[in-house]
Amino acid sequence: MTNEPTPVAAGDAHLRSAESAAAGSSPAGTTGPGTLLTIDNIEVIYDEVILVLRGMSLGVAEGKIVALLGSNGAGKSTTLKAVSGLLPSEQGEIASGRITFAGEDITRLDPADRVRRGLSLCMEGRHIFGHLTVAENLQAGGYTASAKEDRLDFVYEFFPKLADMRSRTAGFLSGGEQQMLAIGRALMANPKLLMLDEPSLGLAPLLVEEIFSTIARLNAETGLTVLVVEQNAQTALSVAHHGYIMERGRIMLDDEAGALSQNPDVKEFYLGIGAGDKKKSYRDVKHYKRRKRWL
Amino acid sequence: MSTFVSLFIYGLSEGAILALAALGFVLIYKATGVINFAQGEFLLIGAYTFYTAFVILRLPIVVAALVGVVAAVIIGVLVERFILRPMVGQSHISIIMVTIGLAGLLSALVQMFFGTQPRSMPPLFPRNQLEILGAHIPANRLWVLLVAGIVLTLLTLFFQRSKHGIAMRAVADDQQAAMTVGISVRRVFALSWALAAVSALIAGILLADVTTVEMNLVNFGLLVFPVVILGGLDSVPGTIVGGLTIGLISQFVAGYLDPGLAEVAPYIVLVLILLVRPYGVFGEKRIERV
């Protein structure tokens, strides 16, 4: 399983072999009744040649916060794009496998229909409508929703700052304000599942904390299910119930968030804490980075 | 003074028609990024469909206008669906060539069915002379100004306030993000072509009322370019101001200097604006913030 004589993942982590992943075994503990989103063994190809997801499976239980972690290029964002139907706009396609949301197969559904069914994506890099005002951004977010006024009050309750800036041009907001607007805009569609792609991108640590505590509050107070993709593994695991680790287009490891953050491999590779629980420093120019191959 | 007043009103009415025609162009550019060289031909087609319904089929004016609107919507949607959509992802030059080809096709179709003889239409608006500050103005000029003004106001309100107007602006801003909030980009594209065709239709009808129904309406359509360059390719208020300005300039030049010079004056403005302020007086400089 591993190329080096490293200890096998501790705890009850499900370290799955290539065969079982290819066979499409669904991730343990997250399927069955109560599962809102199931990704079942999908393959995603860009431009008809670049295979990005190779037998990716994942489940999100209703009412939970699930974190999807992994290094750059692992395929986290592609996973979210596959779920929200954005792949065709980037010359990508789901070659095999299926995605089920609330019991329905949505693998080939139009993106707008997915939003109508309660699936909202908040894209990486915020992607707010820069030339529209804050209020207009939110109105656009509620394009598919019926009771807009209630939603607007709801969003302003969770992001009171937005209420004070409703007539300002969104492009001139600060990064943190834009991120709040992006999440608020996604909430306007009244989603059952909110997918967040790197909400911490380019934000100061304090703001990251604020955003994640709002996400946790949304989950606790309204039962909103959240699937969050993050580089900032520690912060994500601190609010998540369950975590998945992704590497080179498939899930390598999944576990309860608490157990995952105690896992020595996860600690070393994603949390940056080496043996002896010391944080690695960039100053140690010649520090040795242990490589690990999962397969 | 009376010359000034009449030139002013003539300029405003012509400018309002221009603004309407240019607005269609701007709608398409803003939402879909396509530079539509066939906007003048849309105007021509609009004028001839209305002429057919009103004069040849003798329908009442309101019904004829509705027929024109329906035809314009259908033409707009068909053009988007079968000519522009297959071009998605192609280079700008290819898309421009396609719209130029479309322009040739549309004007040839009009010539095929109606020939090149100018057609006269019974007046839509009263033509009695009104005296304003000593100048004698035909009433239909004011009517044209009024109708164009109302349509422009409605379109602007649609853009600023309505759900679909905001959706169009959202698509213009960021197509992928618009998809993530459930806006159908294809539907928005179809809507902008349909609206462009309808605004060209109204411009065509109004223009036909102050001139005649003839192939030369296309040349008027060409004036759309100085208007949008002056106003900024992607600005609705800019288009209205640009239209009125170009209308006034060409009337004043014709009245005070030389009617021949008035033909080229708008294009002189175009060149000057490109030299001084290439994104137009009201054009958006892209907001970049990461």
Note the pLDDT of residue A1. 39
Among all residues of chain A, which has the CA nearest to that of B287? Answer: A171
In angstroms, the separation between the Cα of residue A285 and the nearest Cα of chain B is 30
Q: Do B180 and A121 touch (CB under 8 A)?
A: yes
In angstroms, the separation between the Cα of residue B289 and the nearest Cα of chain A is 7
- The answer to whether ipTM exceeds 0.95 is no
- CA-based angle A81:A60:A197, to the nearest 5? 35
Residue at token pair 């100061």: A204
Is the CA virtual torsion B110, B114, B119, B122 positive or negative? Answer: negative
Interface-testing mutation among A110, A143, A169, A203, with chain B (most B C-beta atoms within 10 A): A143
pLDDT of residue A230 exceeding 50? yes
Interface-testing mutation among B181, B184, B285, with chain A (most A C-beta atoms within 10 A): B181
Note the pLDDT of residue A24. 40
Take residue A230 and report the two structure tokens written for it.
Answer: 């993050």
**What pLDDT digit, counting tens, does each position of B74-103 carry?**
999 999 999 888 887 788 888 889 999 999
**Rounded mean pLDDT, A55-84:** 93
Ordered mean pLDDT values, 10 residues apiece, chain B (290 residues): 88 93 90 88 91 91 92 92 84 89 92 86 83 84 92 91 92 91 92 93 90 83 89 86 94 90 90 86 62
Q: Is B80 left (phi over 0), alpha (psi -120 to 50) or beta?
A: alpha
- In three-state form (DSSP H/G/I as H, E/B as E, the rest C), the secondary structure along A81-112 is HHHHCCHHHHCEEEEEEEEEECCEECCCCCHH
- B188 half-sphere exposure, CB direction, 13 A CA radius: 29
Note the pLDDT of residue A4. 43
In angstroms, the separation between the Cα of residue B180 and the nearest Cα of chain A is 6
Take residue A35 and report the two structure tokens written for it.
Answer: 């599962």
Cα B235 to chain center, whole Å? Answer: 14
**What pLDDT digit, counting tens, does each position of A166-205 carry?**
999 999 999 999 999 999 999 999 999 999 999 999 899 9
Cα gap B271→A248, rounded to integer Å: 54
* CB distance A118 to A144 below 8 Å: no
Cα gap B262→B215, rounded to integer Å: 20
Cα gap B20→B142, rounded to integer Å: 16
Among all residues of chain B, which has the CA nearest to that of A84? Answer: B180
pLDDT of residue A151 exceeding 50? yes
Note the pLDDT of residue B235. 83
In angstroms, the separation between the Cα of residue A111 and the nearest Cα of chain B is 6
Residues 54-113 (A) with a CB less than 8 A from some CB of B: 84-86, 89, 110-112
Count of C-beta atoms within a 10 Å radius of residue B82: 9
Among all residues of chain B, which has the CA nearest to that of A122? Answer: B180
Residues in A touching B173 (Cβ below 8 Å): 129-132
Cα A10 to chain center, whole Å? Answer: 24
Percent of chain A with pLDDT over 90: 63
Cα gap A120→A85, rounded to integer Å: 11
Is the CA virtual torsion A60, A62, A66, A68 positive or negative? Answer: positive
Element spanning A65, H or E? strand A65-70
Take residue A197 and report the two structure tokens written for it.
Answer: 């792609």
Q: How far apart are the first and last CA of chain B?
A: 55
User: What residue type is A89 in one-letter code?
Assistant: S
A222 touches chain B (CB under 8 A): no
Cα gap B65→A114, rounded to integer Å: 39
Phi, psi of A165 (to 5 degrees): -115, 20
**What pLDDT digit, counting tens, does each position of A88-130 carry?**
888 899 999 999 999 999 999 999 999 999 999 999 998 999 9
Note the pLDDT of residue A123. 93
- In three-state form (DSSP H/G/I as H, E/B as E, the rest C), the secondary structure along B148-200 is HHHHHHHHHHHHHHCHHHHHHHHHHHCHHHHHHCCCCHHHHHHHHHHHHHHHH
Note the pLDDT of residue A2. 40
